[in-house]
Amino acid sequence: MKSVILAGGMGSRFAEETSLRPKPMVEIGGQPMLWHIMNIYAAHGFKDFVVACGYKGDYIRNYFTNYHLNAGDLFVDLTANSTEVISSSAPDWRLWLMDTGLMTMTGGRLLRLRDLLENERFMLTYGDGVADLDIGALLDFHKAHGKIATVTAVQPPGRFGRMIMEDDQVVRFSEKENISGEWINGGFFVFEPEIFDYLDDDETILERSPMERLSSEGQLMAYRHHGFWSHMDTIHERNTLEDLWNGGAAPWKTWT
């Protein structure tokens, strides 16, 4: 099963870092946020990734195409202009690095991946959030309810738009309010191929009309995650994640 990571946004609220590189490539503990997210999936056996690139997508391509060169021992023969990888610590992942446009919205980026994904169930998340999430349990929950979509619901401090739920079904969305303890969209989705019927064009914002339609039709379920979750939208949030990692107390590090 493929896991899609939305990594094409401009990250304008995080300009201190994103003027130089895309937000998913901002480093935590010396590794890009994108690497941390992929490890969360890979720890549960999901190692096929589709990265929806856009803003400064060349940064992402260069990182992965040179991964072996930067993660191992090399023999370089300057006279023959050749390089041989002697040993490497690169993970056993497979990646599709797809250009989904510079200004494309989240739903539009997914729509551009239709030919690659439309015949299979797949997972999707944002390129700026980590969690100590049991991906296997999330997938089991999705398979059990038989709906088109599952979103992982989380409970951070209340400054986000809320999801209103009855049991585990999302029934509507609410605007941002400063109410702590409410459930919000934490990413880490599971989708059936029918999701593409809810996407129109590059301007489609996944979190608006498609999600609202799915919820109104009873096709969107929420997997409640009670553990750690954090996104990285500011320098303060990046520094907090960095401190957790460097202190050996990063809850999202579920791999060895």
Q: Where are the domains of the chain?
A: 2-246
Query: Could you give phi then psi for residue 248, rounded to 5 degrees?
Result: 70, 25
Helix (H) or strand (E) holding 35: helix 33-42
Highest mean pLDDT range out of 16-20, 42-46, 169-173? 42-46
2-246: CATH topology is Spore Coat Polysaccharide Biosynthesis Protein SpsA; Chain A (3.90.550)
Residue 18's pLDDT is 80
pTM of the model: 0.88
Alpha-carbon gap, residue 42 to 36, rounded angstroms? 10
Residue 216's pLDDT is 96
Residue-wise pLDDT tens digits, 123-148: 999 999 999 999 999 999 999 999 99
The closest alpha carbon to 18, from 233, 175, 183, belongs to 233
Please say whether the beta carbons of 64 and 74 come within 8 A. Answer: no
CA distances in angstroms from 111 to 174, 186, 210, listed in the order given: 25, 20, 12
Confidence of residue 162 (pLDDT cuts 50, 70, 90): low
Q: Mean pLDDT across the stretch 50-57? A: 96
Q: Helix, strand or coil for residue 253? A: coil
Residue 70's pLDDT is 82
**Tell me, what DSSP letter sits at residue 2?**
E
Which residue is it, tokens 């739920």? 165
Confidence of residue 169 (pLDDT cuts 50, 70, 90): confident
Confidence of residue 178 (pLDDT cuts 50, 70, 90): very low
The percent of residues in the chain predicted with pLDDT above 70, rounded, is 95
For residue 189, pLDDT beyond 60: yes
For β-strands 72-77 and 2-7, DSSP reports them as unpaired
The closest alpha carbon to 252, from 162, 188, 164, 157, belongs to 188
User: Would you tell me how many other CB atoms lie within 10 Å of the CB of residue 253?
Assistant: 17
Give strand pairing partners of 45: none
Percent helix, strand, coil in the chain, to 5, is 30, 30, 40
